[in-house]
Structure 1
Amino acid sequence: MDETLEEFFHDFRQEMLADAEANSTYQLESFMESVSRELIETGFVEGYEHCHYRAPRGMRVDGYWFNDEGALDLFVTDFDCRRSLETLTQTEVGQIFKRLVNFFEASLDGTLEPDVTTPEYGLVRQIADRRAMIRQVNFYLTSERVLSDRFEAIPDGNFGTVRATYHIWDIARFQRQRSSRGHKEPLDINFVEMFGHGINCLPANLGSDTYQSFLIVIPATILAALYDRYSARLLEQNVRTFLQARAQVNKGIRATILNEPHMFFAYNNGITATAQHVETVNSATGLQIVRMTDLQIVNGGQTTASLFHTMRRDKADLSSIFVQMKLSVIDSEESEAIVPRISEYANTQNRVNAADFFSNHPFHVRMAEFSRRIWAPPRQGAPRETKWFYERARGQYLDAQAKQTAGEQKRFKAEYPKPQMFTKTDLAKFENVFDDHPRWVNLGSQKNFARYAARIGREWEKGSDGFNEFYFKRAIARAILFRTTEAMVSAQPWYNGGHRANIVAYTLSMAGEITARRGLTLPYLRIWNAQAVDDTLAEALSIISTEVNSNITAPPQGISDVSEWAKKEGCWTRLQAEADRIAALLPEEFWEGLPTPDDQQSDRREARKVQKVDNGIEIQKQIFQVPKAHWSHILKEGTIRKFLTPKESDILRIAEQIPLKIPTDKQSIILAGILDKARLEGIVLPD
């Protein structure tokens, strides 16, 4: 067997065992947490809710997730904490999937009735209650073994009107995903296999060898079918996926589809898309695209989703509707830098607060810079300081070690311990749960990040000085609180293996709520300095979590699933009404020594002041890197085209004399704005 795969298996196993011990969870739950995180980050699923159920009648389920568009993901795992890498056979795959299918069918027809106090009760009831709305069920098998080379793919099937798909993620597939250095497993769309023919196109990059581009008039039936099949993965790079609820249908688009389908092409702006690779053939009707690798809709997500939803909900006929598509073929190595720009420039009708709120947004760059520079104090008894590694782009933590020797990797992990690595979606979770948004956190990683991105984008536009070292240290303190609470909830005698994510989110939000009501705040700097939660705070969190568990696991009449209840605003509202009662249960020692917001004000002011200086230095450095010829060219063209103000012209004359004259911080900010203005005016700068 492949030695690299063997090594990956053992490393993966050790990571999983360490996580299980650190979080006081069962090994099976820890395994599913690890693999579901991979699936969420790669865009295959939106979220994951742990729900382990095994019945003597050949039924099993280990997790699930309902999305907003009638799809249900059901998970089953092949896991026995094996010490060596083994093979998963075709027969075993069939047997494992059969148990999951049995569970789904029994839930669908109402013959399965688990105890009302168990986590699986809510899932079973939801499947039965949503029977008419479920259009697709996706069965996921995750395994610690490697799939046999003789395995033959399981074809899609149906349960009445419900389409069923089967997906296997074995240890080899997880290894391939991780070794791709952060690049997701791309979509491979074969139009001939899916639709029986290719798509007519017109090359639009004539005279340029920089990249391929095409103009396409795509049938709405094909676009809706692609969305039906790939959903979130198809829109993964589209910033609108983050900033809007995908299930919402644009009323204007819907009206056109239903009432004036023949005018859709005239009324709609069309879509902008990218792909890594396309295959074309010459046909009797002209050039056709027959295959695309990693099609991504970066603008027009609402158009695509609205076509699908109007077809499904209103039974609309899309056969006479066509959509214009601008397709750019971007190499995978350049996609991280170029795709966000395409998305930003294509979305000009709605100046998104963070149109490029991808990994290269200045906020993420700054957070990553803090994480590489700021040493965290050693924990009590620890021999040395460490750092927290912020992974602004997926796979960076592993990528940083890719070319290191064994000794260098050991030093790297000592400086950046694996438990101290956190991602963009982790950060969004840590922050939103403490900023009075617990419901958002329960919507799943991607939707929670969507709301965090929008919120931080607005704040960044107002001023970036607040995102400073104090902000970073507070974020790490919140991470410590979050992960400590996860482990504590798992160890509680009342914890029955379900809804931990919901309980943790509301426990921490309640901790913030009750302290704020007394004019206090949680001791973030104390947690940062200790890199741990003290016993008094841990006891308080234990009490709060017990009360939260009792509250949220008893949803109102008519709601059977706790996870669905946790996503509703009413859940938080009802819990807030209990805040004073819960506060009275906490020990007096908890309140002693808690800081007020004013106590931390001096630290905030100092951090903001330092950040302001750093910002000025950074933007001056960027301005100094611009060739003087560029400033002269912009001044000349701007004067001719009359888009510069007198003040901007004067500052450009200063920039022409760098380094004899040095622009101030404020002038440098204006110069950065002039560069953007010149780009929008279409000015081509000299080489």
Structure 2
Amino acid sequence: MDQLTEYNGDLLAELREESRLSNLPLEDVAFERLCATLETEGELETADRCGWRGNSAGKTLRLDGHGGDPKEAEGILSVIACELYNDHEPMTLNAADVKKIFGHLVNYVVASRRRDFRDTLSLGTPEFGTATMISEGWPSVTKVKLILITNGIYSARTDAKLAGKIGEIPVTYNIWDLARFHRVETTGSKEKIVVNFEQDFGSCLPALAASTNDAEFPSYLAVINGKQLAQIYEMWGARLLESNVRSFIQASRRSVNAGIRDTIRDDPGMFFSYNNGLSATADSLETRQDGERLEILSARNLQIVNGGQTTASLHAALRSNPDTLDRVNVQIKLTVVRPERSEEVVPNISKFANSQNKVSAADFFSNHPFHLRIEGYSRRVLAPPSSGANRQTIWFYERARGQYLVERSKRGGSDRRRFDTEQPKSQLFLKTDLAKVEFSFRQRPDIVSKGAQKNFAAFAAEIGSSWSTTETRYDETWYKRLIAKLIIFRSLEKAVPRQDWYPGGYRANIVAYGISKLVHDAEKMDKVLNLDTVWSNQNVPEGMLQCLLIACERATKVIVTPESGIRNITEWAKKQACWGSLMRSEVTYGTALIDQLIDLEEARAAQREGKREESMISGIEAQTKVIELGADFWGRLRLWTAPNRTFSMKDDGILKACSQLGRRLPSERQCVLAITILDRARAEGYVDDHETPRIRISGSRSH
């Protein structure tokens, strides 16, 4: 309980400070902060704020936000309640409290389908737009998901529990309480999906062992019934596909989906023969041997890494062709991968399972070279002291969830205080933050407005597919300019709500659109924002901020006045037509703008100079490493590579120079190449018996 109390105190302090700086209500800040975690976890694709309380037909109605248009979310209507307790000591919720909150959410959904209720709401307000979205999208709704986010504590574990129906539409509920947020954000591990095939879905899976008893990664061939698989997807949705390459790049092949659909409808008995089946992984399995027959009873952290289209198509058939699903069977190749090896192994399973669809270049998991490079810069590149400070700091890139808190927890006392000073939490940024900021500056505000997951999917596809030809552009100068963009984005997030023209909502859309507009207008002048100045000062010059706010004001006018026939402002902001309308708008910045811009060639020259400096630093670091390992080490490596044909005569010459350190120090260029040769050798299995072994001991974790 002490840990939860400390976590709650830190969370409230963070929210209060953000509220003070941005002038936003504490409830708005809490909604945005907590929903960001849900988006990262795959619980929601997007989270749009709509704080409203009211009454209709003698019932209490409530809504704090929603997960976007169900037509864009596989038919799932997510409605959200945010219950924030402003007390340091965590509050406890009981079943009656939760039932009451969810009842008010259901009342809002039901009322939204009535014209008389919608007529009581003011045109243009978030509550009117949301009610209209629910009403117009209801024919496509397959499930209503009630979500409670809170810093209270609820004792029961709740994950996609069935709560009843609205008409014929199933309703589930999910509670994200303080303990659940703490668990996800401090351990770095995702919420585990535990599928009890026999207990919750009717029957176990018949299976064959496809590996030896001593295999490091036990594998099985199993068969699952189509209705059973569809019901599992009904409960957890896209969270089953978190490790699937296609879930990141949002690949769509309508012809394949049509073929799957037609087989389910017209020839379900042949589905097993026609369909390639699924590739899946799990942390662990519970099995039973029934005579000659092996059965899988349950799977912990089940993940479908290939077969997302098959799964989603079967789920769609729950509504269109439910009677045929009992006759459908699907094969599964299921591999057990221990959690500590999942980051290494699962992406490869997914990549090779999907290779026939040409998406291997986009396996944008946390161990992709892009993320590793950004992480490396974020730990090494010190930011200049900001105004009024005298200490350099780090912008901490969290490549994998929980890295920051794990690093902080290793320290105590004065070491933790130093960590907080040198690596402040305000300078923590995630993969989704990076994608959001980059796409805002790449003039893609409509994609940014679709939410963290869809925006990251688009960013992943773009970077992943072009990485092999463009990776050199992501150098240290690019990283410093990325941080400058983060500084601009976050400064605008705080400044926009303080403006007289701010409408009281849509902040995220306004910021993304405003940045894109200014970048677009600068581009028309063959100029770019002077990001290097922002990096050097670690803040946004007043003149630049004012120009950005002018662009944001114009963006606000476009966003809140959608085209005829569109009544939901947040959905309008997700459309390319909205961005097109803003691009065509004329904005007068005055003379201040020109001082904030530099010529394209000047920006490129600065980047070339940065590459030269980075090359010098890399050379010094490599030279230091070569000397540290010593001449004997390089001599042993040279002997190992000599009979190996993958190493050239040039490689041998480099290693020879390093093995003669006592005579002459190798050049920086030679040392850089030597480190590269060492990495290649280790990848091929080289181990130096004289080198101090690197031992990692993992403690067991109870659940």
Per-residue CA distance 1:273-328 (angstroms, 9 max, x = gap): 11011111223671111111100111222222233335545668233332221111
Identity across the alignment (%): 36
Instruction: For residue 521 of structure 1, give the secondary structure of its aligned residue in structure 2.
Output: strand
Provide the C-alpha distance between the structure 2 equivalents of 1:669 and 1:409, rounded to a whole number of angstroms: 34
**CA spacing shift, 1:312–1:245, aligned 2, 3 Å:** farther
**Range 127-136 or range 450-459, more displaced:** 450-459
What residue is the counterpart of 1:13 in the other structure?
Answer: 12
Question: 1:202-232 CA distances to partner (integer Å, 9 max, x unpaired)?
Answer: 1122242423221112222222222222121
Residue in 1 aligned with 2:568? 561
What is the distance in 1 between the residues matched to 2:152 and 2:123? 34
2:55 is aligned with 1:63: no
1:479 deviates by: 0.6
Q: Is the 8 A contact 1:247 1:309 kept in 2?
A: no
**Does 1:226 pair with 2:232?**
yes
CA distance in structure 1 between the partners assigned to 2:159 and 2:435 by the alignment? 40
Relative to structure 1, the CA distance from residue 480 to residue 153 in structure 2 (aligned partners, 3 Å threshold; closer, same or farther) is: closer
Give the partner amino acid of 1:24.
N
- Residue 474 of structure 1 deviates from its aligned partner by 0.8
- The answer to whether the 8 Å contact 2:651/2:677 transfers is yes
* Contact kept? 1:51, 1:62, Cα under 8 Å: yes
Does residue 1:130 correspond to 2:137, yes or no? Answer: yes
CA displacement at 1:353 relative to structure 2 = 5.5
Partner residue, 2:84: 79
Aligned residues: 666
Residues 1:108 and 2:113 aligned together: yes
Structure 2 partner of 1:601: 604
Report 1:21-420 matches (<5 A): 21-57=20-56, 58-66=60-68, 67-113=72-118, 114-147=121-154, 155-179=162-186, 181-245=187-251, 250-283=257-290, 286-310=293-317, 312=319, 317-352=324-359, 354-420=361-427
Structure 1 window deviating more from structure 2 (305-314 vs 622-631): it is 622-631
Amino acid at match of 1:220: G
Shift in Å, 1:184: 0.8
Distance 1:226 1:664, change over 3 A: farther
Cα distance change, pair 112–495 in 1 and its aligned pair in 2 (3 A): farther
Instruction: State how far apart, in whole Å, the 2-side matches of 1:137 and 1:629 are.
Output: 65
SS in 2 for 1:475: helix
Secondary structure of the residue aligned to 2:130 is helix
Q: 466-475 or 75-84, which moves further after superposition?
A: 75-84
One-letter identity of the residue aligned with 2:49? H
Tell me which amino acid in the other structure corresponds to 1:109.
R
Amino acid paired to 2:450 = L
Greater CA drift, 472-481 or 562-571: 562-571
Q: CA–CA distance in 2 between the matches of 1:445 and 1:627?
A: 46
The one-letter amino acid paired with 2:164 is: G
**1:423-572 residue pairs with structure 2 within 5 A?**
423-572=430-579
1:389 and 1:615 mapped to 2: Cα distance? Answer: 21
The one-letter amino acid of 1:26's match is P
Report the CA distance shift for 1:111/1:420 in structure 2 as closer, same or farther (over 3 A).
Answer: same
Q: Is the 8 A contact 2:385 2:392 kept in 1?
A: yes
Partner of 2:700: none
Distance verdict in 2 for CA 1:615–1:197, change over 3 Å: farther
Q: Is the contact made by 1:378 and 1:530 (CA closer than 8 Å) also made in structure 2? A: yes
CA distance in 1, matches of 2:358, 2:614: 26
User: Matched residues in 2 for 1:630 and 1:314: separation?
Assistant: 62
Aligned to 1:72, what secondary structure does the other structure show? strand
Provide the rounded CA distance (Å) in 1 between the counterparts of 2:654 and 2:265. 56
What is the CA deviation profile of residues 484-526 of structure 1, one whole-angstrom value per residue up to 9, with x for unaligned ones?
1111222223434322211111111111111111111112111
Q: Which moved more, 1:6-15 or 1:421-430?
A: 6-15
- The answer (yes or no) to whether the contact 2:635–2:655 under 8 Å persists in 1 is no
Asked if 2 retains the 8 angstrom alpha-carbon contact of 1:90 and 1:151, the reply is no
Range that drifts further, 656-665 or 605-614: 656-665
- Structure 1 unaligned residues grouped into runs of 5+: 636-643
* Mapped partners of 2:213, 2:158: distance in 1: 47
- Comparing 559-568 with 313-322, greater Cα deviation is found at 313-322
Q: Distance in 1 between matches of 2:355 and 2:678?
A: 19
2:693 corresponding residue in structure 1: none
- One-letter code aligned to 2:248: F
**Contact kept in structure 2, 1:651 and 1:667, CA below 8 Å:** no
Shift of 1:262: 4.1
1:52-100 residue CA offsets vs partner (Å, 9 max, x unmatched): 1111452111111134200011111222423432222322222222211
Displacement, 1:157?
0.9
Cα offsets for 1:409-455 (capped at 9, x unmatched): 11111001111100011000110111121121112111111111121
Aligned-pair CA distance for 1:619: 10
Deviation at 1:233, TM superposition (A): 0.6
Against the structure 1 CA distance between its residues 281 and 402, is the aligned structure 2 distance closer, same or farther, given a 3 Å change threshold?
same
SS of 1:95's equivalent?
helix
Name the CA shift for 1:281/1:446 in 2 (closer, same or farther; >3 Å).
same
Shift of 1:464: 2.2
User: In 1, distance between residues paired with 2:687 and 2:265?
Assistant: 47
- Seen in structure 2, the aligned counterparts of structure 1 residues 515 and 385 have a Cα distance that, compared at 3 Å, is same
Paired with 2:637 and 2:329, the residues of 1 have a C-alpha distance of 46
* 8 Å contact kept, 2:544–2:596: no
Q: Give the Cα separation in 2 of the matches to 1:243 and 1:152.
A: 26
SS in 1 for 2:44: coil
Whether contact under 8 Å (2:85, 2:91) holds in the other structure is no
Q: Secondary structure at the match of 1:112?
A: helix
Give the Å deviation of 1:631. 4.8
- Higher mean alpha-carbon deviation, 380-389 vs 313-322, is at 313-322
Provide the rounded CA distance (Å) in 2 between the counterparts of 1:74 and 1:625: 65
**Farther off after superposition, 394-403 or 62-71:** 62-71
- Does structure 2 retain, via aligned residues, the 8 Å contact 1:465–1:611? no
Separation in 2 of the partners of 1:160 and 1:188? 29
Could you say what the CA RMSD is over the residues aligned between the two structures, in angstroms?
Answer: 3.4
Query: How does the TM-score come out when normalised to structure 2?
Result: 0.87
Question: Does the C-alpha gap of structure 1 residues 393 and 17 become closer, same or farther in structure 2, counting only changes over 3 Å?
Answer: same
- The answer for the alignment partner of 1:575 in structure 2 is 582
After superposition, give the CA deviation of every residue in 1:616-648 in whole Å (9 maximum; x if it has no partner).
99999999799668756764xxxxxxxx8xxx7
How far is the alpha carbon of 1:172 from its aligned partner? 2.0
Question: CA, structure 1 residues 497+285, in 2 after alignment: closer, same or farther (shift >3 Å)?
Answer: farther
Task: Kindly provide the CA deviation profile for residues 449-490 of structure 1, in whole angstroms up to 9, marking residues without a partner as x.
Answer: 111112122332104221111101111111111111111222
